[in-house]
């Protein structure tokens, strides 16, 4: 690569950097966007599920989980772990949109 080609390449890089810096300076004048917060689903225990839906028993919630009709997550080890159900999934199931 000759010196002339190197200088032309450097000039292109400088021009690109200037364009980028100008764009960054313009974006700094606009109000900053708030940081995105990920939505964490609200999880309910079996007891909380039964209390959320009127007339629903803990036994029924356990049966729905066991049958796979209500998605759940077990925390802890073995059978001593708590079963957690997404509140959104519970409400969706009982609003007839299963």
In sequence order, the β-bridge partners of residue 44 are: 85
Report residue 98 as tokens.
């299963």
Average confidence (pLDDT) over 75-85 = 86
- How high is the pLDDT of residue 80? 81
Q: What is the pLDDT of residues 22-67, one digit of tens each?
A: 887 777 665 666 666 667 789 999 999 999 999 999 999 999 999 9
pTM of the model: 0.57
Between CA 83 and CA 60 the distance in angstroms is 13
The separation between CA 73 and the C-alpha centre of its own chain, rounded to angstroms, equals: 17
pLDDT value of residue 31:
61
Calculate the alpha carbon distances from 52 to 42, 62, 71, 92 in Å: 13, 15, 16, 13
Question: Quick check: helix, strand or coil at residue 44?
Answer: strand
Q: Any alpha helices (H) in the chain, and if so which ranges?
A: 3-29, 46-52, 58-66, 87-94
Q: Does residue 19 surpass a pLDDT of 60?
A: yes
What is the distance between the alpha carbons of residues 55 and 92, in angstroms, rounded to a whole number? 16
Cβ atoms of 69 and 92 within 8 Å: the answer is: no
């Amino acid at each position: 690569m000759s010196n002339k080609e190197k200088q032309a390449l450097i000039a292109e890089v400088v021009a690109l950097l200037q364009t980028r810096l100008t764009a960054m300076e313009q974006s700094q004048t606009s109000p900053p966007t708030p940081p995105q917060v990920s939505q964490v689903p609200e999880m309910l225990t079996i007891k909380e599920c039964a209390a959320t839906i009127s007339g629903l028993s803990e036994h029924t919630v356990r049966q729905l989980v066991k049958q796979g009709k209500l998605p759940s997550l077990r925390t802890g080890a073995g059978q001593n772990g708590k079963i957690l159900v997404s509140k959104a999934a519970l409400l969706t199931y009982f609003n007839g949109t299963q």
